[in-house]
Amino acid sequence: MKLEIARGIFLVGALAVASLAVAAWEQPRTEVLSSTQAGAHCPLPRVAKVPKTTAAARPDQDLLLFMFGLTQAMKPQS
């Protein structure tokens, strides 16, 4: 096969792949959400009750050890 023919086939193939990628690319359009489109999303209620706890949230002590173990496992052993 001549080099010119191979280049032409490659060019046609590359253009076909690029055109398929452009056709398949789907991006959502920008739109303004309004109250008339209630089925499109689920808005939060105006009065949301948050449970009040007297104790502050404290992280689990084992979580720090777990995270340290994960980072140590990711390092290459030498």
The tens place of each residue's pLDDT in the chain, 78 residues long, gives 799 999 999 999 999 999 999 888 877 666 665 655 555 566 666 666 666 665 566 667 788 888 888 888 766 665
Q: Residue 46: give the domain boundaries.
A: 3-74
Alpha-helical segments (H) within 25-56: none
What whole-number distance in Å separates Cα of residue 60 and Cα of residue 68?
13
Residue 62 and residue 69 in contact, taking contact as beta carbons nearer than 8 Å: no
pTM for the structure as a whole: 0.35
Number of domains making up the chain: 1
Q: What is the pLDDT of residue 18?
A: 94
